[in-house]
């Protein structure tokens, strides 16, 4: 039996995890904590377990403490600065724990997991073109400030706007596929009135230069007259092979022809983040979605913000300055 403590419930992510774990026979949620009273109530209901009095109380629990060799499922976004991401990487290496970065909205989709596996296996060669549009869409009367007030906190609290919140998914997937780009350029906008009033971006474009091809990421949230909740399409071209994917509508076009998703997958199913963590603990294996890959995503994100603040200036990687450029 694996005991779990849940630290935080920002945007209901902790409650969602608790609800998913309650029905597992191999897991018991022992305690959790959240500073925001309304989010704490949501977490307590989802856990069906007591709330702790502080994060420190959870950390001190001998059944849960990372210092005692316990392990971490770290929900996205990974960190609010590159400095803090590097601190996490160092702490994981020093303690010897397993950390899985839980960032499922691209990695956990079967067609994207299969594409990643095919690229890593060498079944597909180096790409010549890559474009990924990822985000969420809402009706014009959607009460976003009431449901997700955290998204409108200043960068010193939240780390950033929707390039952080939504962009981290697309950045993580590109980094997992191709590693660190040579340079990053970006622009961001606040054209949804709620974001404009809070002075945080709701949309951004990020260009990653990998030397022999560009990866274009379009990320964020916006309002549509007839909204479909998710945007998550990807176009990737290889020499003599092309893919256009939109999984939420079951669209898979290979070499210009519509293909059945199940034919491409051939029964392939990705491993969930929590199952990956349990397997790595059991087998003493290294996670695929690990702290180093997550920190690389933060580095790309911080470079994107530096570029956007400098009117799209090209930013070379690796970064030496680990601060968040949005925070004075």
Write the pLDDT tens digit of every residue in 81-90: 999 999 999 9
Return the H-helix or E-strand segment holding 136: strand 129-138
Find out if CATH 2.40.50.140 is the number for domain 2-103+275-290.
Answer: no
Report the C-alpha gap between 11 and 310 in whole angstroms: 30
CA distances from 313 to 60, 82, 206, 327 (A): 45, 19, 11, 19
The CATH number given to 106-271+296-316 is 3.30.360.10
Q: Nearest to residue 270, comparing CAs of 107, 57, 147?
A: 107
Q: What is the mean pLDDT of residues 62-73?
A: 71
Round the average pLDDT of the chain to a whole number and report it. Answer: 94
| Contact call for residues 247 and 162 (beta carbons, < 8 A) | no
CB proximity list for 67: less than 8 A, separation 6 or greater: 59, 95
Q: How would DSSP label each residue in 216-251? A: EEEEEEEE-SS--SEEEEEEEEETTEEEEEEGGGTE
Task: Tell me whether the omega of the peptide bond preceding residue 134 falls within 30 degrees of 0, making it cis.
Answer: no
Report the C-alpha gap between 305 and 160 in whole angstroms: 9
**DSSP conformation class of 51:** B
The pLDDT, as a whole number, for residue 65 is 55
Helix, strand, coil tally for the chain in percent (to 5): 40, 25, 35
Could you tell me the pTM of the whole model? 0.94
pLDDT for 68 beyond 60: no
312-316: long-range contacts, CB 8 A cutoff, minimum separation 24: 312/185, 312/186, 312/187, 313/185, 314/183, 314/184, 314/185, 314/209, 315/183, 315/184, 315/185, 316/182, 316/183
Write the pLDDT tens digit of every residue in 144-200: 999 999 999 999 999 999 999 999 999 999 999 999 999 999 999 999 999 999 999
Q: What's the token pair of residue 1?
A: 């039996």
Report the C-alpha gap between 218 and 191 in whole angstroms: 15
Return the H-helix or E-strand segment holding 133: strand 129-138
Write the pLDDT tens digit of every residue in 206-257: 999 999 999 999 999 999 998 778 999 999 999 999 999 999 999 999 999 9
End-to-end alpha-carbon separation of the chain, Å?
A: 45
Q: What is the mean pLDDT of residues 303-323?
A: 98
The pLDDT, as a whole number, for residue 70 is 80
Kindly list the domain boundaries of the chain, sorted by start residue.
2-103+275-290, 106-271+296-316
Fold: same for 2-103+275-290 and 106-271+296-316:
no
The pLDDT, as a whole number, for residue 23 is 85
Write the pLDDT tens digit of every residue in 101-141: 999 999 999 999 999 999 999 999 999 999 999 999 999 99
pLDDT for 51 beyond 80: yes
More confident residue, 293 or 48: 293
Q: Nearest to residue 183, comparing CAs of 323, 43, 274, 307?
A: 307
Report the C-alpha gap between 112 and 245 in whole angstroms: 9
The pLDDT, as a whole number, for residue 28 is 87
Q: Quick one: 197 exposed, middle or buried, by C-beta within 10 A (0-12, 13-18, 19+)? A: exposed
| Contact call for residues 114 and 268 (beta carbons, < 8 A) | yes
CB proximity list for 2: less than 8 A, separation 6 or greater: 26, 27, 28, 278, 281
Report the C-alpha gap between 191 and 188 in whole angstroms: 10
């Amino acid at each position: 039996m694996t005991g779990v403590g849940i630290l935080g419930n920002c945007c209901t992510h902790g409650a969602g995890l608790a609800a998913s774990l309650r029905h597992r026979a191999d897991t018991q949620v022992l305690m959790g904590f959240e500073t925001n009273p309304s989010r704490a109530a949501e977490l307590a209901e989802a856990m069906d377990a007591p709330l702790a009095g502080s994060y420190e109380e959870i950390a001190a629990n001998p059944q849960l403490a990372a210092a005692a060799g316990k392990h971490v499922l770290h929900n996205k976004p990974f960190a609010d600065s590159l400095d803090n991401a590097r601190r996490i990487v160092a702490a994981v290496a020093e303690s010897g724990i397993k950390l899985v970065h839980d960032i499922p909205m691209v990695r956990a989709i079967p067609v994207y997991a299969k594409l990643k596996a095919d690229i890593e296996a060498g079944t597909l060669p180096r790409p010549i073109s890559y474009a990924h549009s990822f985000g969420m869409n809402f009706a014009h009367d959607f009460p976003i400030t009431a449901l997700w007030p955290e998204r409108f906190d200043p960068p010193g609290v939240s780390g950033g706007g929707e390039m952080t919140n939504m962009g981290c998914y697309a950045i993580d997937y590109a980094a997992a596929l191709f590693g660190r780009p040579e340079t990053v350029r970006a622009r961001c906008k606040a054209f949804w009135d709620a974001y404009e009033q809070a002075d945080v971006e709701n949309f951004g474009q990020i260009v990653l230069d990998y030397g022999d091809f560009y990866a274009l990421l379009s990320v964020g949230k916006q309002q549509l007259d007839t909204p479909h909740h998710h945007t998550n399409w990807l176009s990737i071209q290889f020499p003599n092979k092309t893919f256009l994917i939109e999984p939420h509508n079951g669209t898979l076009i290979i070499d210009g022809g519509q293909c059945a998703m199940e034919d491409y997958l051939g029964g392939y199913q990705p491993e969930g983040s929590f199952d990956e963590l349990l397997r790595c603990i059991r087998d003493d294996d290294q996670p695929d979605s690990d702290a180093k890959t997550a920190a690389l995503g933060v580095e790309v994100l911080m470079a994107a913000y530096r570029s956007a603040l400098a009117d799209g200036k090209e930013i070379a990687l690796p970064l030496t300055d680990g601060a968040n450029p949005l925070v004075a």
